[in-house]
Amino acid sequence: MTHDMQGFFFPRTATGRSSLIPAPPWSYSGDLLTVEYRTDPARVAELLPAPLELAPEDPGAVALIWADWQSCSSSREELLDPVRSQYKECFVVVRCSFEGQTYSRCVYIWVDKDFAIARGIHQGYPKKLGSMWQTRPMAFPHASPQLAPGGAFGATLAAGDRRLADAVLTLTGPSDTNGFVNGHPMAHHRVYPDIAGHGDAYAELIESGGAEFEGGQAWQGDVELNLYDSPTEELSRLSVEEIIGGYYRQVGVVWNGGRTLARLSTD
């Protein structure tokens, strides 16, 4: 019925030009500041609807990741009007098991642009608006840490005019990894509540991952991490039992769709 309309996402029009986001592939260049820690696995299990299960190893591992992104569609036109290409985000990843495979799963995420929210709805990321800041490694050190031992990077997250998290990562040296929690394909739910109030009109479990990936030297470091309560958030419920590590890495990524793992009952 909408086949005569153009536009990947809403609004759909005769030309499709005003769609909030164009069709994938979507490309990203960004800086990632990752903090990994262990929480009570029971708190992770609460976020895994059946038949998802805890990952078999280190099931309480959590990654809290800040990302400072520049992004674009295949036209790359957003890069020349950068209010349309730059955004910041902070997201929380756990792991889970589905049919014997281990997946990563984003359980909370905040971004600061509407096009990022729309991409998240498509990908199954539960995006809200937030205010995120992370120290940048500028070219000159006058007001900047460097990507070198001793470089100290701060990162903060706020939403609803409350601070939700802040971290400081002090680099100690190069790292073979950028952490392990966010290293699997993502297993996300995509749901659309029924307009008449009877559960979901549509629900599925999907898998997706990067179509391309390139990364620079990863750095590791010492971490200070604080989580704060909010009446509308549950991040602090994933309380910090033990810091695993902290990492900094610059990356380039392309995302180009995923596949359905399971269509879900909407009763």
Minimum gap (Å) between residue 20 Cβ and a copy of itself:
5
| Contact status: 208 vs a copy of itself (CB under 8 A) | yes
Stretch that binds a copy of itself, among 53-61, 151-159, 175-183, 240-248 (CB under 8 A): 151-159
Q: Should residue 216 be labelled a site residue for a copy of itself when binding is judged by CB under 8 A? A: yes
In the complex with a copy of itself, the residue whose CB is nearer, 52 or 55, is 52
Contacting a copy of itself (CB under 8 A), which of 181, 203, 227, 244? 203
From 26-34, 55-63, 171-179, 239-247, give the range in contact with a copy of itself by CB under 8 A. Answer: 26-34
List, in sequence order, the alpha helices (H) in 66-188.
114-123
Buried b (16+ CB within 10 A) or exposed e, 114-137: ebbbbbbebbbbbbeebbbebbeb
- Is 89 a binder of a copy of itself (CB under 8 A)? no
| Residue range at the interface with a copy of itself (CB under 8 A); choices 54-62, 129-137, 173-181, 240-248 | 129-137
**Residue tagged 């699997």 (tokens):** 184
- Asked if 43 contacts 237 with a C-beta cutoff of 8 angstroms, the reply is yes
Find the binding residues for a copy of itself in span 170-189 (CB under 8 A). 189
- Report if residue 162 touches a copy of itself, rule: CB under 8 A: yes
Tell me if the bond preceding 174 is cis, omega within 30° of 0: no
Q: Counting contacts by CB under 8 A, is residue 205 touching a copy of itself?
A: yes
Q: Min. distance of Cβ 249 from a copy of itself in angstroms?
A: 9
Q: Which of residues 39-58 bind a copy of itself (CB under 8 A)?
A: 46-47, 49-51
Compute the distance between CA of residue 99 and CA of residue 189 in angstroms, rounded to an integer.
Answer: 15
Specify the residue, 55 or 72, whose C-beta has the smaller distance to a copy of itself.
72
User: Does the footprint of a copy of itself cover residue 231 (CB under 8 A)?
Assistant: yes
C-alpha closest to that of 94 among 244, 266, 260: 244
Question: Is residue 108 at the binding interface for a copy of itself, with CB under 8 A as the rule?
Answer: yes
* Residue closer to a copy of itself, measured from CB, 100 or 232: 232
Q: Restricting to residues 5-24, which ones interact with a copy of itself according to CB under 8 A? A: 5, 8-15, 17-18, 20, 23-24
The minimum distance between CB 212 and a copy of itself, in angstroms, equals 7
Q: Is 249 exposed, middle or buried (0-12, 13-18, 19+ CB in 10 A)?
A: buried
Contact 27, 71 (CB under 8 A): yes
Give 9-66 as a DSSP string: SSSPBSS-TT-SSPPSPEEEEEEEEEEEEE--HHHHHTT--TT-EE-SSSTTEEEEEE
CB of residue 93 to a copy of itself, shortest distance in Å: 13
b/e code 3-23 from CB counts within 10 Å (16+ = b) = eeeebebeeeeeeeeebebbe
The verdict on 123 binding a copy of itself (CB under 8 A) reads: yes
Count, residues near a copy of itself per rule CB under 8 A: 118
What's the sign of the alpha-carbon dihedral 96, 97, 98, 104? positive
221 binds a copy of itself (CB under 8 A): no
